[in-house]
Amino acid sequence: MEKIRKAYVRTYGCKQNFADSEKIMGLLLTLGYIAVKTPEEADLIIFNTCAVRENAEQRVFGNVGVLKKLKGDNPGLVIILCGCMTQQPHMAEYFKAKFPFLNAIIGTNILTALPGIIGAEAVFPSAEEIKPLREGEFSANVPIMNGCDNFCTYCVVPLVRGREVSRTPEKIIDEIKGLIAENRRDILLLGQNVNSYKPDFMELLHEIDSLDGEFTISYMTSHPKDCKKELIDFIAESRNISRHLHLPVQSGSNRILELMNRGYTREQYIELAEYAKSKIPEISLTTDILVGFPGETYEDFKDTLSLTEEIGFDSAYTFIYSKREGTAAANFADPVPPEEKSKWFRELLEVQGRISERSYLKHIGKSLRVFCTGEGRSNPELLTGKSKQGIIVDFAGSDELRGKFVDVKITKALPWALVGQLTVNK
């Protein structure tokens, strides 16, 4: 009998990359592999890398180095690097020179290159036809577009993922119908800038929202320059669109926003955020903030702090600027020392920490609609789910509630989740 071939895929970075890995694993299944949980068990190891910040790259270097021993013990082992990091020619060269035991370094086009590399002879499906092997039982990530046309001056994404390409609405709707039929009712639409989805993002959301049944559709990432008030109006009226808006602001200083090429001002951003809060009072508003952009002064940073306070984000992903080769900002003067940037960063964390805590407390006493996904987070004896605002909610209940919508009255706020009690059980 032929030996079962085992594949291990490790993913770094954003949800888009995780979705790509689910496709890679889906393709490997059709080529006769099964998925394993550790590199030690595998005949094929794939690292799907991320280039957005230096610390993600450092982790890849460390983890790839460790594979040398596995390859030494098992020369038949196939090791492949792919993803955004290896799409950059200087990185591909570096990997080739430093880790000669790698079998292939592919970049972001792995789905077409993979069968050839592992010697598969079968006719294999196009990327669109591959059914992803999804993590989790009741949720799904659905890429609606790939690439980015914006060229924010700090960001490497347009250089590694290329220009925007949208999937057709028909393909997306078909996929979502299939997911709902599988009872995957927590669905996240993915794109670097979903608001510029072609032909039309709002039309797409409208079609999805009209599908039968109860489900939650969220999406990321929205770009503030392209997120229109009509979209907010539509969400407010929708049945199934998430009440979570992730709207990366990056900076509160108009001078820095302009240097970043973001295409909006502080005032425009605040107006949009306030509009969303007024139209959808239960909305959860989250953001990304970049600290220490080249040329940023403490005055600029204080504008970011004041914006953070003024808006009161439910939570914020905060990053220290990391220089990316090939981007415009890599050529900007960057005189502020790293220790100083770290100090600002800690200040922001502290301010945002207080705001997040306050924002979670406001749910206490309220009843939230929650899609139960199973495994308890704060306590294994509890169930866990996701509210319409995208917040994790833990509650006591029986196992048959998994995969169902329930109403939960919130009794307690943790730093990263809410805890409550079941009220109605439909």
CB of 153 to ligand 5AD, least distance (A): 9
Could you tell me which residues are beta bridge partners of residue 404?
Answer: none
Cβ-defined contacts of 11-15 (< 8 Å, 24+): 11/48, 12/47, 12/48, 12/49, 12/50, 12/56, 12/59, 12/60, 12/83, 12/85, 13/48, 13/49, 13/50, 13/51, 13/52, 13/56, 13/83, 13/84, 14/50, 14/52, 15/141, 15/188, 15/190, 15/220
> Between 27 and 156, whose beta carbon lies closer to ligand 5AD?
156
Contact 391, 284 (CB under 8 A): yes
- Give me the amino acid identity at 91: M
- Footprint (CB under 6 A) of ligand 5AD, residues 3-62: 52-53
Nearest to 147 by CA among 159, 167, 162: 162
Q: Which burial class, exposed, middle or buried, applies to 391 when counting CB atoms under 10 A from its CB (0-12, 13-18, 19+)?
A: buried
Quick one: what does residue 150 bind among ligand 5AD, ligand SF4, none, with the CB cut-off 5 to 8 Å set by partner type? ligand SF4
H helix intervals, 40-108: 54-73, 84-87, 89-98
CB of 248 to ligand 5AD, least distance (A): 4
Cβ-defined contacts of 71-76 (< 8 Å, 24+): 71/101, 72/101, 76/43
> Between 55 and 183, whose beta carbon lies closer to ligand SF4?
55
> Between 85 and 155, whose beta carbon lies closer to ligand SF4?
155
Residue 161 as a binder of ligand 5AD (CB under 6 A): the answer is no
CB of 292 to ligand 5AD, least distance (A): 9
CB of 220 to ligand SF4, least distance (A): 10
| Interface map 260-299 toward ligand 5AD (x if CB under 6 A) | ----------------------------x-x---------
- The token pair that represents 282 in the structure block: 């239960």
Residue 158 as a binder of ligand 5AD (CB under 6 A): the answer is no
> Between 50 and 419, whose beta carbon lies closer to ligand 5AD?
50
> Between 30 and 261, whose beta carbon lies closer to ligand SF4?
261
Selected binder of ligand 5AD within 107, 143, 248, 390 (CB under 6 A): 248
What span, in angstroms and rounded, lies between the C-alpha atoms of 332 and 252?
Answer: 19
Residue 322 as a binder of ligand 5AD (CB under 6 A): the answer is yes
Say how many CA atoms lie within 13 Å of 327 toward its Cβ.
26
Residue 321 as a binder of ligand 5AD (CB under 6 A): the answer is yes
Q: Is 272 helix (H, G, I), strand (E, B) or coil?
A: helix
Contact 209, 394 (CB under 8 A): no
> Between 9 and 155, whose beta carbon lies closer to ligand SF4?
155
Residue 247 as a binder of ligand 5AD (CB under 6 A): the answer is no
Cα(first)–Cα(last) distance of the chain, in Å?
49
> Between 292 and 397, whose beta carbon lies closer to ligand 5AD?
292
Quick one: what does residue 189 bind among ligand 5AD, ligand SF4, none, with the CB cut-off 5 to 8 Å set by partner type? none
Q: Is 93 helix (H, G, I), strand (E, B) or coil?
A: helix
| Candidate segments 83-91, 211-219, 319-327, 385-393, binder of ligand 5AD by CB under 6 A | 319-327
- Residue 276 parent element (H or E): helix 266-279
Quick one: what does residue 290 bind among ligand SF4, ligand 5AD, none, with the CB cut-off 5 to 8 Å set by partner type? ligand 5AD
> Between 253 and 387, whose beta carbon lies closer to ligand SF4?
253
Residue 154 as a binder of ligand 5AD (CB under 6 A): the answer is yes
Chain residues in the site for ligand 5AD (CB under 6 A): 52-53, 154-155, 248, 250, 288, 290, 319, 321-322, 324
